[in-house]
Structure 1
Amino acid sequence: MYKTIIIKKGQAVDTRFNLKDGAGSDAVHTTPIYAYAVCKLSTDTNLEGIGLAFTLGAGNKLVCDAIDYLVRHIEGMEINSLMANFGETYKMMADDPNLRWLGPHKGVVHLALAAVVNACFDLWAKSKEVPLWKLLIDLSPEALANTLDFSYYEDILPKEEAIALLIAQQQGKQNREKILEIGYPGYDTSIGWFNYSDDKVADNIKKAMDNGFTAMKLKVGAKDAGRDIRRAALVRKIAGDKATIMFDANQQWNLPQAIAICKELRELDPFWIEEPTHPDDVQAHVKLASTVDVKLALGEHVPNKMVFKNFIQSGCMSFNQVDAVRVGGVSEFILISLLSKKYNIPVVPHVGDMGQIHQHLVLYNHVSVGHPALLLEHIPHLREHFKFPVRIENSRYQTPQEPGMSSDLLYY
């Protein structure tokens, strides 16, 4: 029998962090302010649920205002009772008639939903005194499915099929749990921010390699494509032929530009090219994938399960970068992950949370869903602000042991 824990109040906290010396910059977001719209759930105990949504500055306030509205759906509820059939409450929040016109299921309101949903999962794990990865792995397929909203997925992944998929993956689960001991492999995203000089990129590659990283990513998308090609060749030369390298254009190119530049970058044998054009343009990505023999990583700016549904079925997505602090939190992340598994597309999340939450989710994905343990992005810029920051040893995420989803900040 569990101890009852009542959500007394939910409130938003606007938290922002200035970055220095070009960190975090890309071809579109040239002067980013990393920010979290935090949802804090106070209870009738000393436990708090902390959920995050990621933004890049002034928009954070708008997301916080939406959080303060959405939390009324869960205030007064007991956390274990809430999570026993959370899919219904999720749908109620996502389809709130006073806010749905602003989306539906995208933009400010959906980011706020992510923060609220993540806070619920954090509190649920804390109530059971376990880290989120263990809570999720220990759930039965039926209990896990009850936390998801399958609306509009009935034609492609109905609830019964999702349960069957999870049951099928129980074979081999014990063997996959070895990842909990050795840690999940990471890749270094911070070697090549857009505003970094060539010299700084070169130094960062060497530092990353000294820290055990054999996979790393460079920001591209300059107005002068020659700059991209030169810097990409620099990464390959210093990292070596055996290194895993990726290039991220952050949506900067139109389709003709993407085709032309991807053909040149392909010669450097990239593991993937990320966000080559507008994130909503499924057909452009299909055309690119059919024209250039290069793998595409997509999903950082894909806002919801419906757009992911289209991308996953389109055949153009080689790697799924769904992010639990952009889509509707852990619940929608898992639903998208299950559909991605059905189509054999590996999930390699974007980490707007700096990897704090996703270190739990990739463990769940591997152990329970059967996704391959490929890579998890590592961005260290906000490490000092978390109560339990991610731990990286020899480029591998070490399995977190503290209760919750590692989203607690040192101050709010």
Structure 2
Amino acid sequence: MISAINIKDRRFKLDSGAGSDAIHRDPVYSYAVTELIDDSGITGTGFAFTLGEGNDLVCKAAAFYAEQLKGKDIEELMHHFGKVFNQLSNEQQFRWLGPHKGVVHLALASVTNACYDLWAKKRGVPLWKLLIDLSPEQIVNTLDLSYIEDELTRAEAIQLLQDKQGSKSERSGIIESGYPGYDTSIGWFSYDDEKVRANCKKAIEEGFTAMKLKVGSADPQRDIRRSNIVREVAGSDVKVMLDANQQWTLPQALSICKELQSMQPYWIEEPTHPDDVLAHMTLADTIAPIKLALGEHVPNKVIFKNYLQADCAGFIQVDAVRVGGVSEFITVSLMCKKYGIPVVPHVGDMGQLHQHLVLFNHIAMGHEALFLEHIPHLQKHFVHPAVIKNGVYQTPQVAGSTCELKNQ
């Protein structure tokens, strides 16, 4: 049973310009870490992602949630984790601070992810294998479908998974071949044109066939110039994504996205405020067939449901260290599967956790294996850093979710 907890505030300064975008110019990549220690000495590690200030607030909230799990057996806890998640997320006083968003929901993600890590470690398998081997009923038992039953009932969720059970072996080859990645570090916002050009060439040499550029400049001509540099270096066969990090108002987005269409972006990401579903509907209709990608700052399954209902998201970027953890990630993935929308996670975890989840999405749920974002800046801080070779994530084989951080 869970006998002790540790909560840690871990912050990592980045090299000059790294991580910068149109809104977040000087980020400090940070994790609110939860460690759940069971009486056999096994530690489950989970975290939520922030950019520095306020990480301590998430840690305080995570401690509140984690304390409620002490004395519980992890197998019993995960057998009905959907109910546990529902109870914790609706705790009356903390719910007032959300509901289901912000500091308290990030804290719940940290604790939830630690539960899944401990579960996999107790069974002695990587998280991806644990999830793939569970029955559809066992998976759905870990989910909280409240507020989305109008789009996804328990029976529908089980059926979506059941429909893919017989063909899992057809998709299991990806365990050996690895999951494709894309380079999101070629064009951080603060990088000058020549560094962007050099990074594009390096990414291609390293085997990446997709890459992303930060846009959202005060002068739109800077965005147009930089995007054309990437397209020129990458060529027509490489997928190039553009990410505005919510910088534009709708009128601005309508204007500049039309100009950016000529360089044929694979998607335009977070073009405007993430709560403004109707603005995304208007923009998506205007710039079609160019598609929008969103989800980095969508806080919960309910807002994702609204985006899917509005039919304006071409790609969903749900992040398990930004929503309520693995449980809510899987819930959103199931809704996306029903709607036929690809899931391409944002990786606030630097890919450590999501390399497991995309394998589950593909093998157990039948999602297309497009690619997974790769951000290299914190690799040296992980005990088992994600391994990327020739632009491809190599399947992790150690037990758990590969989220342990080195003690420094």
Same fold (TM over 0.5): yes
Alignment partner of 1:209 out of 192, 204, 208: 204
Alignment partner of 1:363 out of 359, 366, 380: 359
Deviation string 1:309-352 (CA, Å, 9 cap, x unpaired) is 10011110000000000000000000000000000000000000
Is 2:149 aligned against 1:154?
yes
Is 2:181 aligned against 1:163?
no
Cα distance in structure 2, aligned partners of 1:43 and 1:411? 19
Paired residue for 1:3? Answer: none
1:3-402 maps to which residues of 2 (within 5 A)? 6-293=1-288, 294-402=290-398
Aligned residues: 407
What residue ranges of structure 1 are gaps of 5+ in the alignment?
A: 1-5
Cα distance in structure 1, aligned partners of 2:345 and 2:275? 18
What residue ranges of structure 2 are gaps of 5+ in the alignment?
A: none
SS at the partner of 2:36?
strand
**RMSD of Structure 2 on Structure 1 (CA):** 0.7
Counterpart residue type for residue 176 of structure 1: R
Cα distance in structure 2, aligned partners of 1:165 and 1:240? 38
SS at the partner of 2:240?
strand
Cα distance in structure 1, aligned partners of 2:90 and 2:156? 24
Cα distance in structure 1, aligned partners of 2:91 and 2:379? 35
In the TM superposition, residue 370 of structure 1 has moved relative to its aligned partner by: 0.4
Paired residue for 2:404? Answer: 408
Cα distance in structure 1, aligned partners of 2:355 and 2:15? 25
SS at the partner of 1:117?
helix
In the TM superposition, residue 171 of structure 1 has moved relative to its aligned partner by: 3.0
Contact 1:272 1:296 in 2 (8 A): yes
In the TM superposition, residue 11 of structure 1 has moved relative to its aligned partner by: 2.9
In the TM superposition, residue 167 of structure 1 has moved relative to its aligned partner by: 0.4
Contact 1:11 1:67 in 2 (8 A): no
SS at the partner of 1:37?
strand
TM-score normalised by length of structure 1 = 0.98
TM-score normalised by length of structure 2 = 0.99
Counterpart residue type for residue 101 of structure 2: K
Cα distance in structure 1, aligned partners of 2:146 and 2:209? 41
Deviation string 1:267-290 (CA, Å, 9 cap, x unpaired) is 111110000000000000000011
Cα distance in structure 2, aligned partners of 1:163 and 1:213? 35
Cα distance in structure 2, aligned partners of 1:71 and 1:9? 9
Deviation string 1:208-232 (CA, Å, 9 cap, x unpaired) is 0110111000000000000000000
Cα distance in structure 1, aligned partners of 2:148 and 2:277? 18
SS at the partner of 2:165?
coil
In the TM superposition, residue 42 of structure 1 has moved relative to its aligned partner by: 1.4
Which runs of 4 or more aligned residues in structure 1 lie more than 4 Å from their structure 2 counterparts after TM superposition?
none
SS at the partner of 2:9?
strand
In the TM superposition, residue 9 of structure 1 has moved relative to its aligned partner by: 2.0
Cα distance in structure 2, aligned partners of 1:386 and 1:292? 40
Cα distance in structure 2, aligned partners of 1:270 and 1:157? 32
Counterpart residue type for residue 370 of structure 1: G
Cα distance in structure 1, aligned partners of 2:147 and 2:53? 33
SS at the partner of 2:15?
coil
SS at the partner of 1:171?
helix
Cα distance in structure 2, aligned partners of 1:8 and 1:223? 52
Identity of matched residues, %:
60
Cα distance in structure 1, aligned partners of 2:309 and 2:201? 39
